[in-house]
Each structure stands twice: as structure tokens, then as C-alpha cells.
């Protein structure tokens, strides 16, 4: 008889990497998510956090969280459908909807649960989800949980999107789902073209603004603002609260009747406990800070431009990113692990991304700065990449 645990005992890849000293995951950080972190009693420059605006350790954010704990306690002990709703959550949903120029909003406990819930409750038998091949895993998993069909098109390839849509039955329900900013490559979806093609084929459009909210657009409202598409051209905007909002959670905004349906049909929302009030208060404060002060975002882009210029001058391939996500392509998985180890030894915390998360031969170090980094931090990162890249043979 087969043992269901046999696959677990036969899984060796991570253990081999650990023994070789090139395992760069699940690193136990001993401090707050700041420009510098403590790991194993040693100080590292954090160059791999999604805390883009540096709000995770901001005094105002911490004060808002503490005040919420004092008033509401550490948790709500239930789903929002039953006993776990709070006025804090209702108010935040309204503020998120207003920020994104939509009628209504809905919160989820995590960004992953949000995409599972939104996608699986919308895509039913006979419906089609049309997704970019580099869309986030949570979107793909949401489709797998649905009763509908998934069709994928080549990354940011509008000719391929139209080819795919042309093959779908005309009377089928169609939802195009794209990341606004792609989490690994840092490039932005061509949303105006997607909107045009979607209208031609009667498809609805959903944009995941996880890495765009608070970052792109004149006032940080995300991809739709970036392209001047805030008049209903995009049906749903979703996002996570673990990046610029610096805590945890997920949200969707759209027309009131669509959000009302999700509130009562998205299983990952109905059957999960609500976010702790401290998280909701933190998100509310982060939204206020983003709306009232662009200096953090301005400094983030200034520092990113300096880092990008320095790495490109060294000879690194950074792809086509125009956002604070900088993918430093290093070639093979082996090169990626060697690069991680060399940077780690020099006190730089960066994230290794290998295939199958990226195409074979396109492994990369994913770099992201915070608005609270300094020019000195940036120069140290550049100097470390110079030394590491030359020692491995990636650059001359």
C-alpha cells in the first residue's frame, strides 16, 4: 500500500542546499523590517523587503496599532459574517473604495485569500479566466478552485491576448486578470491595450495592484491612475496590505452590487476570521500617510534610480522594470545560489528567485529598497554586487 508521506521523505532539494550552505529561504530575522535587520546576531542591509515606503516600523503606524489593541484587544475571534466585524473594518473598506475611485470595497484576512475568494466566486461553469502567464500564484490557485476554465496568454503580449480571446465562445463569461506591476520582473501591464481588447470581446477586467498601490500613479492610487483609467474602464481592483500598507490583509474594490455578491459568496472571506483590529488600524493609518505625503514615494524612486544606474553600469541585466522592483538576472540557478551566498557573507539581504518561479536560465536576485534607506546603504549594495558578480564571473 502507498504511504501518503513517501513524497515528503523523498524530498531532498532543500536539504541538499542547506548542507551546501546555499539555502537562502526562511531566514529568521530578529528585528523590525527596516533598512537594516538583525539575523543570527549580525546586521544586514535589507534589500529584499516589500516594505516599500518603510511604514512597517513607522511610529505613527505603531501608535495606531497599539491604540486599536487597547480598544479592541488582540483579535475578534470570528468571521466578519458572524461576530468578527468591526466599525474599523467597515470604515476602511469605504476609504479603500474612495482611494481607488470605486463604489465599494471588501477586506480579506490576507492577499492570498483575497484572490482565492474573489476569483473562485466569480468564475463559474462555462466561464473563462484569461490570465497573463506571469500572474501571481494566488490568482491561478483561485481559478483552480473555481468551476471555470483558465486560459493563459504570453506575458504582456497583446497579440496573444487577442488570439486567446478570439477562440473563446462568444456567449461565455470572460474575466481578464492581470497584475498591475509584476512581482518578479517589476514591469507594468499595458492596461490601455488590455482595456481596448477586453471591450472588443466583451470581457470584464480585474487588475491586481498588490505592488502598485501606493507606488505608481500621480498620487499612488495604482495602475489605473498611472494610465488615466479611473472612469470605470477596469471593473475590479484588488490588492494586498502586506506591501506599502506594511501589515497583512487583502482587499477588492468595484461596483457596489459586485462587492455585495462577494461579501456573501467568497468562501475564503466567509470562513476565515477577520484581520486583527491592529492590522486594520495600521492599514487605515498607512492609507492616510500615502494620501497626504508623497515624500516617501519620491525618495524611494530616487534611491531606486541610483541603485539601478549603479548595477547597470557594472554590466548587470535588470530587464524592463520601471518600478522599485529590480530583477538582477544572473543566469543559472547555481549562479543565483552562489550570488546569494556571496551577498549574504557581505551583509546584504536579498532574495534568490530560481526556476520554475522564473524561466530556466533566467534566475535572478530580486532587489527592493525602502524609502527609509540611505544613499550609503545603496552604495554598499552596489559595491557588494560588484565584488560578488566578479567573483562568480557574471560580470567582468
Q: Of 10-24, 62-76, 195-209, where does mean pLDDT reach its minimum? A: 10-24
Q: How far is CA 193 from CA 89, 189, 222, 238, 312, in A?
A: 35, 9, 17, 19, 30
Helix (H, G, I), strand (E, B) or coil at 393: coil
Q: How far apart are the first and last CA of the chain?
A: 56
| Residues 6+ away with beta carbon under 8 Å from 238 | 114, 115, 118, 206, 207, 208, 209, 210, 250, 251, 252, 253
Say if strands 128-132 and 174-179 run parallel, antiparallel, or are unpaired.
parallel
**Residue 192: per-residue pLDDT:** 98
Nearest C-alpha neighbor of 385 from the set 326, 323, 310? 310
**Residue 22: per-residue pLDDT:** 87
Indicate if the pLDDT at residue 357 is higher than 90: no
What is the mean predicted confidence (pLDDT) over 329-357? Answer: 94
**Residue 1: per-residue pLDDT:** 87
What is the pLDDT of the chain when averaged over all its residues?
A: 96
Please spell the DSSP secondary structure of 6-48, one letter per residue: HHHHT--HHHHHHHHT---SS--B-S-SSSEEEETTEEEEE-B
Q: Give the span between the Cα atoms of 77 and 74, in whole angstroms.
A: 9
What is the mean predicted confidence (pLDDT) over 374-385? Answer: 98
pTM here? 0.95
Helix (H, G, I), strand (E, B) or coil at 239: strand
Pair 145, 123: CB distance under 8 Å:
no
Pair 244, 258: CB distance under 8 Å:
no
**Residue 359: per-residue pLDDT:** 84
Position with higher pLDDT, 14 vs 308? 308
Strands of 135-249 (E only): list them. Answer: 149-153, 174-179, 204-208, 236-240
Q: Give the span between the Cα atoms of 371 and 187, in whole angstroms.
A: 19
Nearest C-alpha neighbor of 185 from the set 49, 321, 372, 51? 321
Pair 142, 171: CB distance under 8 Å:
no
CATH architecture of 59-292: 3-Layer(aba) Sandwich (3.40)
Q: Give the span between the Cα atoms of 293 and 229, in whole angstroms.
A: 23
Pair 280, 89: CB distance under 8 Å:
yes
Model confidence pLDDT, tens digit, residues 92-123: 999 999 999 999 999 999 999 999 999 999 99
Model confidence pLDDT, tens digit, residues 146-165: 999 999 999 999 999 999 99
Percent of all residues in the chain with a pLDDT value above 70, rounded to a whole number: 100
Residue 139 confidence class, pLDDT cut points 50, 70, 90: very high
Domain boundaries defined on the chain: 12-46+294-392, 59-292
Model confidence pLDDT, tens digit, residues 199-252: 999 999 999 999 999 999 999 999 999 999 999 999 999 999 999 999 999 999
Q: Identify the bridge partners of residue 151 per DSSP, sorted by sequence position.
A: 130
**Residue 118: per-residue pLDDT:** 98
**Residue 78: per-residue pLDDT:** 95
Pair 164, 174: CB distance under 8 Å:
no
Q: Which CATH number fits domain 12-46+294-392: 3.10.180.10, 3.40.50.620, 3.90.1150.10, 3.30.70.100?
A: 3.90.1150.10
Helix (H, G, I), strand (E, B) or coil at 323: coil
Q: What is the per-residue burial (b if ≥16 Cβ within 10 Å, else e) of 61-88?
A: bbebbeebeeebeeebeebbeeebebeb
**Residue 292: per-residue pLDDT:** 93
**Residue 282: per-residue pLDDT:** 97
Q: Is the dihedral of CA 118, 122, 123, 128 positive or negative?
A: negative
Pair 276, 74: CB distance under 8 Å:
yes
Amino acid at each position: 500500500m502507498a504511504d501518503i508521506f513517501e513524497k515528503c521523505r523523498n524530498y531532498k532539494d532543500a536539504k541538499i542546499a542547506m548542507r551546501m550552505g546555499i539555502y537562502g529561504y526562511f531566514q529568521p530575522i530578529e528585528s523590525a523590517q527596516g533598512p537594516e535587520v538583525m539575523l543570527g546576531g549580525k546586521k544586514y542591509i535589507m534589500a529584499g523587503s516589500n516594505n516599500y515606503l518603510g511604514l512597517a516600523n513607522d511610529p505613527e503606524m505603531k501608535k495606531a496599532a497599539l491604540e486599536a489593541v487597547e480598544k479592541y484587544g488582540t483579535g475578534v475571534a470570528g468571521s466578519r459574517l458572524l461576530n468578527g466585524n468591526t466599525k474599523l473594518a467597515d470604515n476602511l473598506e469605504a476609504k479603500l473604495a474612495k482611494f481607488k475611485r470605486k463604489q465599494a470595497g471588501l477586506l480579506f484576512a490576507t492577499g492570498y485569500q483575497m484572490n482565492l475568494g474573489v476569483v473562485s466566486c466569480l468564475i463559474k461553469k462555462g466561464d473563462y479566466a484569461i490570465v497573463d502567464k506571469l500572474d501571481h500564484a494566488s490568482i491561478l490557485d483561485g481559478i483552480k478552485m473555481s468551476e471555470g476554465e483558465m486560459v493563459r496568454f504570453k506575458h504582456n503580449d497583446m497579440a496573444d491576448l487577442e488570439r486567446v480571446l478570439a477562440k473563446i465562445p462568444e456567449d461565455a463569461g470572460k474575466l481578464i486578470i492581470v497584475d498591475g506591476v509584476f512581482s518578479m520582473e517589476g514591469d507594468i501591464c499595458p492596461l490601455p491595450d488590455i482595456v481596448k481588447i477586453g471591450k472588443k470581446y466583451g470581457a470584464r477586467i480585474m487588475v491586481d495592484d498588490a505592488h502598485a498601490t501606493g507606488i505608481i500613479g500621480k498620487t499612488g492610487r495604482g495602475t489605473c491612475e498611472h494610465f488615466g483609467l479611473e472612469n470605470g474602464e477596469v471593473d475590479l481592483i484588488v490588492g494586498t496590505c502586506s506591501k506599502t500598507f506594511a501589515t497583512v490583509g487583502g482587499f477588492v474594490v468595484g461596483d457596489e452590487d459586485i462587492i455585495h455578491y462577494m461579501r456573501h459568496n467568497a468562501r475564503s472571506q466567509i470562513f476565515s476570521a477577520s484581520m486583527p483590529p491592529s492590522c486594520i488600524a495600521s492599514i487605515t493609518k498607512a492609507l492616510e500617510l500615502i494620501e497626504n505625503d508623497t515624500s516617501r514615494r519620491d525618495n524611494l524612486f530616487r534611491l531606486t534610480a541610483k541603485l539601478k544606474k549603479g548595477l547597470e553600469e557594472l554590466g548587470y541585466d535588470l530587464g524592463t522594470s520601471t518600478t522599485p522592483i529590480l530583477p538582477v538576472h544572473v543566469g543559472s540557478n547555481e549562479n543565483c545560489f552562489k550570488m546569494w551566498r556571496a551577498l549574504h557573507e557581505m551583509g546584504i539581504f536579498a532574495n534568490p528567485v530560481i526556476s520554475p518561479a522564473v524561466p530556466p536560465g533566467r534566475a535572478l536576485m530580486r532587489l527592493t529598497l525602502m524609502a527609509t534607506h540611505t544613499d550609503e546603504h545603496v552604495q554598499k549594495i552596489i559595491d557588494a554586487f560588484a565584488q560578488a558578480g566578479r567573483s562568480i564571473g557574471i560580470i567582468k
